[in-house]
């Protein structure tokens, strides 16, 4: 009994010459991502001294080390929530604008210039003699300059400047994906603005907002250069990436550095998975107005 | 479009625009502060500097050895773009055209580097690179930058390739096109706009990629953004204006490619990965 040839049977399952084109990409990722990652896990479990898990016990028994998790979350969560809270109403206004391009182009600047440039600019701008303090004194809100650099607020400002445009542009792309006819239908049926937002838009937007939250949070959680340049890297803004970097490249203990890096990834993934899990309780379906 | 006329709506609208305006104002002021300082002779305790000069640019160019740094930056960035472009488009083509067992796992593999913090995979990868002797070398920096760039190209290209009708390729086959000429004369011209957009976006992102480059860059393989970080980190050693002049040089190199990229993509796509194309 002779069936179809092996090639035909494989092709029926979607494997043929074209499918093999995926191999170079996989090879690169295995070599540069999967292998180093597995190597890192093993490396973190073979510490310089002590039992196999001693890197992790060292991290969680030293307040200077495990405190960095709280310091990072204390920066990343408020900033992400504030960015989202600002991005949503502004995206709703901008969606009605005819000339969005100028605004979106300006807002894409900090995203592309990156945190190092923004940190450099903020050091001048927020400094005691900078324009920010001067303006507030001129307007009469302040009597004397406030210290906004080399502390928590400097890092907060840098995450706001780079994070808000990111959250805004993502939100805008989701908001403009909703058919305006849906809103018009709701308005025709007598829904007030608040009702239209709460009962029509918000349910449609929740999946997109969850993704936006996650991507913004990932960026804020990975804060590194601005926490060093604008913050107090030995104090309030000693974030977990600084701890990982110092262990690996200043104390030359790559085993410990990798352990901290893995803890960092786990903490972040726990929050991302939790947010994406909550998303599944909400409506997921087409946001277009046409019949599906 | 619906316009609400109540006083509450008007106030709300005003508040939202005021917030947006305030943000844009502060953002532009941050950039302007760098620009103004880089041209300042002396700027202490006043609204504007005492005088203007361009000498900091010559100082910065010499002190930070920028001709070398800029050259290295472009060599690294273009190599990254080339590698992730070729491998990425080929992989994206397979993922867009075929359904095969394990495809979801493969896509997850390409999504992961964009979801976990760069340092989490950067530190183990840097350790491996140092152990095989690539730490501080040109290829070390290139390899570590390919990790986020390749998935980015793939995720931008998949929806773009999906919208090209496969029947066009079938028709070319019917008329006797071989694989080579099918690729060169049918696919490449159709893919070119999407490829250009994806590659320019990768270019801009790689120039600004700090965390990963920082981990493996040696003295001769520093890119602009890493040099800028070291300069700001050690500020006080050099004049602040000199550092800001370097920041402006960095900004100009980034913005040049950004402006070019914006000819092909809308700003929202820089973060939102080709959503509009999918809808079209």
Is the pLDDT higher at A282 or at A62? A62
| pLDDT tens-place string over residues A61-112 | 988 899 999 999 999 999 999 999 999 999 988 888 877 888 888 998 998 8
Query: Which parts of chain B fold into alpha helices (H)?
Result: 7-38, 55-63, 66-97, 103-115, 118-131, 138-162, 166-174, 179-181, 188-208, 211-216, 224-233, 240-262, 267-272, 275-279
| CB A106, CB B24: distance < 8 Å | yes
Determine the 3-state secondary structure of A50 from DSSP.
Answer: coil
Give me the residue from A110, A120, A244 closest to B119, CB to CB: A244
Residues B250 and B211 in one domain: yes
In order of their start, the domains of chain A are: 68-239 (1.10.3720.10)
Residues B92 and B169 in one domain: yes
Listed in sequence order, the residues at least 6 apart from B215 whose beta carbon sits closer than 8 Å to its beta carbon are A245, A249, B119, B122, B123, B125, B126, B144
Name the pLDDT band for B180 (thresholds 50, 70, 90): confident
Report which secondary-structure segment, H or E, holds A259.
helix A254-279
Nearest residue to A96 via CA among B172, B4, B112: B4
Listed in sequence order, the residues at least 6 apart from B134 whose beta carbon sits closer than 8 Å to its beta carbon are B140, B143, B216
Query: Which of A12, A15, A24, A32 best probes binding to B when mutated, by most B CB atoms within 10 angstroms?
Result: A32
Residues B125 and B9 in one domain: no
Listed in sequence order, the residues at least 6 apart from B112 whose beta carbon sits closer than 8 Å to its beta carbon are A33
Q: With a cut of 0.90, is the ipTM above it?
A: no
Task: Confirm or reject contact between A116 and chain B (CB < 8 A).
Answer: yes
Count of domains observed in chain B:
2
Residues B88 and B202 in one domain: yes
Task: Confirm or reject contact between B145 and chain A (CB < 8 A).
Answer: no
Residues B49 and B73 in one domain: no
Residues B19 and B130 in one domain: no
Residues B41 and B88 in one domain: no
Q: Which of A12-16, A126-130, A233-237, B204-208 has the lowest mean pLDDT?
A: A12-16
Report which secondary-structure segment, H or E, holds A153.
helix A152-175
Task: Confirm or reject contact between A279 and chain B (CB < 8 A).
Answer: no
Residues B189 and B214 in one domain: yes
Q: What is the dihedral of CA A110, A112, A116, A120, to 10 degrees?
A: -40
d(CA B271, CA B228): 24
Q: Which residues constitute the domain of residue B203?
A: 55-279
Chain A, 80 to 99: residues with Cβ < 8 Å from chain B are 86, 89-90, 92-94, 96
Residues B125 and B42 in one domain: no
d(CA A62, CA A69): 12
Instruction: Find the mean pLDDT for residues A168-184.
Output: 87
Task: Confirm or reject contact between B72 and chain A (CB < 8 A).
Answer: no
Residues B71 and B41 in one domain: no
| pLDDT tens-place string over residues B107-140 | 999 999 988 899 999 999 999 999 999 988 999 9
Residues B75 and B148 in one domain: yes
Q: List, in sequence order, every residue forming a beta bridge with B40; answer none if it has no partner.
A: B52
* HSE-CB for A230 with a 13 A CA cutoff: 29
Distances (CA, A) of B94 to A211, B102, B196: 26, 13, 19
**CATH number for position B117:** 1.10.3720.10
Name the pLDDT band for B274 (thresholds 50, 70, 90): very low
| CB A91, CB A208: distance < 8 Å | no
Residues B100 and B21 in one domain: no
d(CA B252, CA A190): 51
User: 3-class secondary structure for B32-44?
Assistant: HHHHHHHCECCCC
Last residue of a domain, one of B53, B74, B90: B53
């Amino acid at each position: 009994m002779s069936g179809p040839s092996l090639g035909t049977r494989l092709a029926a399952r979607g494997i043929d010459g074209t499918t093999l084109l995926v191999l170079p990409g996989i090879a690169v990722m295995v070599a540069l991502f999967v292998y180093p990652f597995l190597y890192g896990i093993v490396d973190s479990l073979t510490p310089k001294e002590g039992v196999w898990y001693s890197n992790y016990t060292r991290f969680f028994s030293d307040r200077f080390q495990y405190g960095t998790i709280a310091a990072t979350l204390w920066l990343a969560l408020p900033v992400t929530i504030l960015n989202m809270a600002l991005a949503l109403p502004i995206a709703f206004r901008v969606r009605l604008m005819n000339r969005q391009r100028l605004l979106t182009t300006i807002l894409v600047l900090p995203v592309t210039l990156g945190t190092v440039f923004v940190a450099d600019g903020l050091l001048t701008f927020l400094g005691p003699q900078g324009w920010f303090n001067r303006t507030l004194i001129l307007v009469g809100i302040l009597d004397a300059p406030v210290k906004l650099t080399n502390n928590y607020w400097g890092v907060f400002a840098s995450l706001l400047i780079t994070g808000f445009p990111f959250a805004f542009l993502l939100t805008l792309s989701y908001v403009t994906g909703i058919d305006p006819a849906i809103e018009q239908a709701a308005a025709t049926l007598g829904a007030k603005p608040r009702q239209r937002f709460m009962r029509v838009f918000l349910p449609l937007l929740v999946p997109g907002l969850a993704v936006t939250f996650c991507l913004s949070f990932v960026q804020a959680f990975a804060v590194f250069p601005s926490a060093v340049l604008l913050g107090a890297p030995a104090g309030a803004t000693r974030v977990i990436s600084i701890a990982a970097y110092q262990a690996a490249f200043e104390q030359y203990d790559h085993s410990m550095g990798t352990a901290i890096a893995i803890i960092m990834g786990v903490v972040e993934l726990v929050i991302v998975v939790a947010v994406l899990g909550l998303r599944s309780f909400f409506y997921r379906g087409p946001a277009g107005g046409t019949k599906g | 479009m619906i316009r609400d006329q109540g006083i509450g709506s008007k106030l709300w609208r005003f508040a939202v625009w005021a917030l947006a305006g305030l943000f844009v104002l502060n953002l532009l002021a941050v950039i302007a502060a760098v620009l103004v300082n880089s041209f300042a002779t002396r700027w202490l305790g006043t609204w504007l500097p005492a005088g203007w000069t361009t000498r900091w640019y010559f100082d910065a160019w010499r002190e930070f050895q920028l001709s070398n740094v800029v050259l290295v930056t472009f060599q690294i960035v273009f190599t990254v773009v080339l590698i992730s472009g070729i491998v990425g488009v080929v992989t994206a083509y397979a993922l867009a055209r075929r359904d095969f067992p394990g495809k979801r796992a493969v896509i997850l593999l390409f999504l992961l580097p964009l979801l976990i913090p760069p340092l989490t995979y950067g530190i183990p990868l840097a350790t491996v690179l140092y152990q095989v002797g690539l730490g501080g070398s040109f290829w070390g920096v290139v390899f570590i930058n390919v990790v986020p760039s390749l998935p980015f190209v793939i995720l931008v290209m998949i929806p773009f390739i999906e919208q090209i009708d496969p029947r066009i390729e079938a028709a070319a086959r019917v008329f006797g096109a071989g694989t080579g000429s099918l690729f060169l004369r049918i696919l490449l011209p159709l893919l070119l706009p999407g490829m250009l957009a994806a590659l320019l976006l990768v270019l801009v992102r790689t120039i600004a990629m700090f965390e990963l480059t920082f981990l493996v860059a040696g003295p001769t393989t520093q890119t602009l953004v890493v040099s800028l970080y070291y300069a700001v980190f050690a500020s006080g050693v050099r004049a602040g204006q000199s550092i800001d002049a370097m920041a402006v040089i960095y900004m100009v190199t980034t913005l040049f490619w950004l402006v070019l990229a914006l000819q092909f993509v809308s700003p929202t796509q820089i973060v939102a990965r080709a959503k509009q194309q999918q809808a079209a």
